[in-house]
Structure 1
Amino acid sequence: MKVLIVDDEKHVREAIRYFVPWEKYDVRDIYEATNGKEAMEIILEQQPAVVFTDMRMPLMDGAQLLEWLHRYSPYTKTIVISGYQDFDYVKPAIVYGGVDYLLKPLNSKQLISAAERAFQKWKEEKLERERTFHQNIQLNVLRPLYWDKTLSDLVNGTIAFQDLEEALFKELGLPRNAKRCRTAVISLQSSGGQLLQRFQGDIQLTSFVLANVCNEIVSSRKQGFAFRYWHEGADVAVLFWDGVDEAESLLLEINESVKRAYGIPLDIGLSTVLPFPEGLCAAFSQARQGLAERNLLEKGNRIHLYRKDRPEAAPDGGAKNAGLLEKLGLSLLSGDTEKIVRSLEEWTGSIAGSGVLTMSGLKVWEERLEHVLTKWRQEWAGSEEALSDEPSFPAGMDESGNFSIERWREGVKAYLLAKVGESKISRSSDSRIILEIRDYLDKNFQQEITLQHIADRFFLSRENVSRKFKQVTGENLSDYLTNLRIDKAKELLQNSEMRLSRIAELVGYEDEKYFSRVFKKATGQTPREFRKREEE
């Protein structure tokens, strides 16, 4: 605590300094002033906990100082010291909350007692202020969570509008005469989940940032409110109640803000205009449907309106495509790479030729392809192979965040050929060891790995490891490990702001300069050049 003594008489200031046991109350700094003007400057700069002040002083007397303290430093406690018993001097001390009024000459016991009361009162009020401050912080943290959960339940139909009506009016600015509404939904998986990758896959943080961006545009203008959706089917939802006619332009503005900040556009589903509040649930359902049934083969459009007459997805009437998928399954059983590639291109070409491929339709086709792969594994390699991991198909998004059927097909082709190659390899015992070695490299590439280390771990000679790895995979072990590390480094350079030294460490290189040389040799660019090109 800090203390200020204000008195134009030096001996009075010295007496107060002498009598009060400051160290007992943890008082570190004691300041002095000879009048109210000097006191004001010290108070503004030092914020003392307690002020001892005389009443009669030049320039500004005690009564004026007490009034100023009451207005500009209300937490400061005051002890008035005066040589006059006139009520005119007592009154300001009472009106402006003085802790005590002491008469000169000072009595040491009374002075100490008054100081102790002032210190105690200041400490108690300080603790209460801190408690209230932390409580307010907790409320500010919980308030958005409350509205996320509450509005999620509202549009989901598990809570009635009448239960929230008054709170929506007071806290979110809902107009009392609102008659219409629209709802928009945003999925963080749109654009291949690129925005989510920018936040290291943290869904909570990404949706929090996105909801804030939306509210900067929508809520600040009192045209609606954005919130994080707590259930499946969407990540962020925007409820429009006063901006239903401007909803599309507002969503385009939101998308531009996200694109400026992160270079990533988002796909947004938007409902029709429905009556408020009875149409809330239907509006939310429409928005989700508009997003899920967007045509991936259309380029450029990011706001996907709900339409009753939307064309059907291919899986609902794609007998031809289903037949071509079955043909792909037969080519997998043959193990013939050329047949597999040809069948895959026929199937994906037929899907693209339909002119319509919705997100929900794509998921259906991927589920059917997964079923074909499961059947192939069981027939080709028996029950052991059937227990392998579920397939992870590519998102198929290009650099602009648009779906590319060509990119998706190439990703599926790479996946299928890799699985066919692995299945062929797994038929020989030597090859199984190489698969184990490759799996070990995939999981431990960030560690220091030498040929001798691999040889010792798998009970082979160094020569055998090199020879067998080359025979089975067609690639040198060192080249495989380097390419694996470079690919991981590219991911980190694209999706994080980590220092190069940290990235080098994470992909198995202790020396940043050596890592840069290896990276340039493999890609033709230094890591910094690669990152800069990706950011452009």
Structure 2
Amino acid sequence: MIKAIVVDDEILTREGISANVPWEKLGYELAAACADGREAQAYVKEHEVDVVLTDICMPYMDGLQLSEFLYREYPQIKIIIFSGYDEFEYAKQALKYQVTEYLLKPVTAFELSDVLLQVGEKISEQKKKDERIGKMSTTYHRNHLLVRSNALMSLVMGDKTREENDRELEDVGITLWGSAFRVAVVEIDDYRDANSLDDKQKQERSLMAFVVYNVAQEIVEKQHAGEVFQGKDYRTVLLLETNRPAELGQRLHEIAGEISRRLLEIMNMKTTIGIGGCVKERGELFRSYEEAMTALQYRYTYGEESVLILEEISGTPERSEAEAIMERILDCVKRGDRDGIKQCVDKMKEDIRRAAWNRERVNLQLQQQLDETVELLRTFQLEEQDILWEKERTLEKIIGAAGLEQALGVMEEYFLKVSGMLDTGRNDGGKKYALLAMEYIEKHYGENDLGLSTVCSYLNISTSRFSTIFKNITGETFMEVLTGIRMQKARELLENTSLKNYEIAEKVGFSDPHYFSAAFKKAIGKSPTEYAREKRK
């Protein structure tokens, strides 16, 4: 609807025009009826108006003064003057202010309706024209941005010759002035998998990516730091250039941090920025771009909303404490040490970040931990169906985790649940304690101070209760089992090595070689020397 206002100091004229003109039928909405030019001026400042119908002679501000104001401040508003003065000077001034129609009173509703129809057609034509121009301008702007982005993207990816790059950059009016360059890539944290988005999400993502581009461009332009363009999969790419590489290196966190903060403030949008290394040749830009993309992959480990500069990400994907700590976690799981489990998981997070593992390496390690935990559950003879269901459910959560924190949270929950499973009635008769003790003996039989109290302290159980449980499960006392394992290990060493008797005694937990010889002969029926001579032949 076209919005119009009537301005006349005579109330009967205002009411007559308001009541007798078929506004809606003509495609109009009568938005207001004002008593003078000053009232109309105030209304126009606060509301959208397309047409003003005004008398000339009014107090405070007459119709011509109002027309002058509208001509100067709101030139798009159409003005229709109706006046009782058939004076050339009035008409001349009206022409000066580009008044659309000058009507002499009295004006009939039919005459005014005819004029309003003509004015409405002009307004409709102008709106269509403005819309076409706007679309053409928007299309041109978008096409220019697309061509510009494509030219810069080809440059940083290194997929064209220098001559082709130079020609494309010249076509879009870009001149690179720096002697050193770095590439940064901005990615929206909430939308990383472009292939999984539906049409509506893609449209939303495109708009958000344009916001990122505009904010980044404003900041980089303010810093005189280079060019900004839209990259693949709705990412925004920064081509930073400088003649002072060291200074740019110091400003990286400042520039990237400001981009992240601004986007969070104005759109509540979380982003991660990966930054590649410095290169001094345009032909090497692809290396910096690849490094920036690689840096983004470490968001999984270091967390979202990060500024990740590849050269600052230290570590090596070799074996680290993150792998070794698994043994300690399983030990805590067996003993039901919930606090120990949490401490180990926290330590694992620190070690993984220190080693700079990526998502694939973390997932592989956690899957291995799942497998080891499953084997532990099988050792305690728990229901196979329950074991596998928990494993698959946990593995699905780990693979779907957004970051290291979430993945390790899933693992911690799993470890605690497994620990609880081991503490339930499913290990009736104390199998858990017996098996834990057997494992402990297998690991520590070579320690000469290993005894019943040592194992009970490890299991956090009284010696009398443990002795009863152990004998019921194994059919032997603790010392009988310990001695049997030590004798078996001694036999293996006597058969397969050239170690002296006293050396073997020390390795299997005997501090006194004579006592070892006596114990061995009692258990095997031969002295260690006789046994070795017989077997080594």
Q: Which residue of 2 aligns with 1:271?
A: 278
Q: Which residue of 2 aligns with 1:67?
A: 68
Q: Which residue of 1 aligns with 2:8?
A: 7
SS at match of 2:49: coil
Q: Percent identity?
A: 24
SS at match of 1:153: helix
When residues 403 and 32 of structure 1 are mapped into structure 2, their CA distance, relative to the original with a 3 A threshold, is: same
Q: Which residue of 2 aligns with 1:251?
A: 252
Letter in 1 for 2:34: A
Instruction: Tell whether the 8 Å contact from 2:26 to 2:116 is kept in structure 1 after alignment.
Output: no
Q: Deviations over 1:459-480 (max 9, x none)?
A: xxxxxxxxxx966567164x45
1:301 Cα deviation (Å)?
11
Letter in 1 for 2:178: R
Q: Structure 1 CA distance, aligned partners of 2:35 and 2:41?
A: 11
When residues 92 and 473 of structure 1 are mapped into structure 2, their CA distance, relative to the original with a 3 A threshold, is: same
When residues 257 and 43 of structure 1 are mapped into structure 2, their CA distance, relative to the original with a 3 A threshold, is: closer
Q: Structure 2 CA distance, aligned partners of 1:405 and 1:488?
A: 15
Structure whose residues are more often helix by fraction: 2
Unaligned runs of 5+ in 1: 189-194, 275-279, 306-313, 315-344, 353-395, 423-468, 497-506, 508-517, 525-536
Determine whether 1:180 maps to 2:185.
Answer: no
When residues 221 and 293 of structure 1 are mapped into structure 2, their CA distance, relative to the original with a 3 A threshold, is: closer
Q: Which residue of 1 aligns with 2:86?
A: 85
Determine whether 1:164 maps to 2:169.
Answer: yes
Unaligned runs of 5+ in 2: 196-201, 324-347, 375-380, 420-537
Instruction: Tell whether the 8 Å contact from 2:5 to 2:53 is kept in structure 1 after alignment.
Output: yes
Q: Deviations over 1:61-112 (max 9, x none)?
A: 1111101111222222111111112221102221222221111222454322
Instruction: Tell me the number of residue pairs that the alignment of Structure 1 and Structure 2 aligns.
Output: 351
Q: Structure 2 CA distance, aligned partners of 1:493 and 1:406?
A: 9
1:267 Cα deviation (Å)?
4.7
Instruction: Tell whether the 8 Å contact from 1:186 to 1:235 is kept in structure 2 after alignment.
Output: no
Q: Which residue of 2 aligns with 1:238?
A: 238
When residues 411 and 286 of structure 1 are mapped into structure 2, their CA distance, relative to the original with a 3 A threshold, is: closer
SS at match of 1:4: strand
Q: Which residue of 2 aligns with 1:475?
A: 387
Which structure has the bigger radius of gyration?
2
Q: Which residue of 1 aligns with 2:223?
A: 221
When residues 125 and 302 of structure 1 are mapped into structure 2, their CA distance, relative to the original with a 3 A threshold, is: closer
**TM-score, with structure 1 as normaliser:** 0.51
**TM-score, with structure 2 as normaliser:** 0.51
1:486 Cα deviation (Å)?
6.4
Instruction: Tell whether the 8 Å contact from 1:52 to 1:81 is kept in structure 2 after alignment.
Output: yes
Q: Which residue of 2 aligns with 1:459?
A: none
Instruction: Tell whether the 8 Å contact from 2:185 to 2:293 is kept in structure 1 after alignment.
Output: no
Q: Which residue of 1 aligns with 2:55?
A: 54
When residues 8 and 154 of structure 1 are mapped into structure 2, their CA distance, relative to the original with a 3 A threshold, is: same
Q: Alignment RMSD, CA only?
A: 5.2
SS at match of 1:23: coil
When residues 470 and 109 of structure 1 are mapped into structure 2, their CA distance, relative to the original with a 3 A threshold, is: same
SS at match of 1:218: helix
Q: Which residue of 2 aligns with 1:112?
A: 113
Q: Structure 2 CA distance, aligned partners of 1:140 and 1:116?
A: 36
Letter in 2 for 1:115: L
Q: Which residue of 2 aligns with 1:126?
A: 127
Q: Structure 1 CA distance, aligned partners of 2:293 and 2:391?
A: 39
When residues 149 and 419 of structure 1 are mapped into structure 2, their CA distance, relative to the original with a 3 A threshold, is: farther
Equivalence map 1:394-405=2 (5 Å): 403-404=355-356
Q: Which residue of 2 aligns with 1:45?
A: 46
Q: Structure 1 CA distance, aligned partners of 2:78 and 2:349?
A: 66
Q: Structure 2 CA distance, aligned partners of 1:263 and 1:14?
A: 57
